[in-house]
Amino acid sequence: MKKTGPFINGEKVSAVDLSLGPKLYHLEISLGHYKNWSIPDSLPHVKSYMKAIYSLDSFIKTRALHEDVIAGWALKVMA
């Protein structure tokens, strides 16, 4: 992240953010559920980046439900 803003390219959301945000969302939910893992406090920049992405109106309106993410990863995790 640039020092000029909360997103990868600074103040404005880019295609990179729109790609990475959902991946981090799935990571956070699925690993939290199946492996009892969370983003460590030693990664504050990652946590603040996730908070910025997750607070976008477009992200809030289009994100998957937690239970759908968990169900979607079940077969892969249990294999």
Q: For residue 40, give both structure tokens.
A: 């460590």
Whether the pLDDT of residue 60 is over 80: the answer is yes
Whether the pLDDT of residue 2 is over 70: the answer is no
Taking the model in full, what pTM does it have? 0.90
pLDDT digits (tens, 9 = 90+) for 18-30: 999 999 999 999 9
Q: Which fold has domain 21-78?
A: Glutathione S-transferase Yfyf (Class Pi); Chain A, domain 2 (1.20.1050)
Q: Where are the domains of the chain?
A: 21-78
pLDDT of residue 4: 83
Cβ-contact 73, 27 below 8 angstroms: no
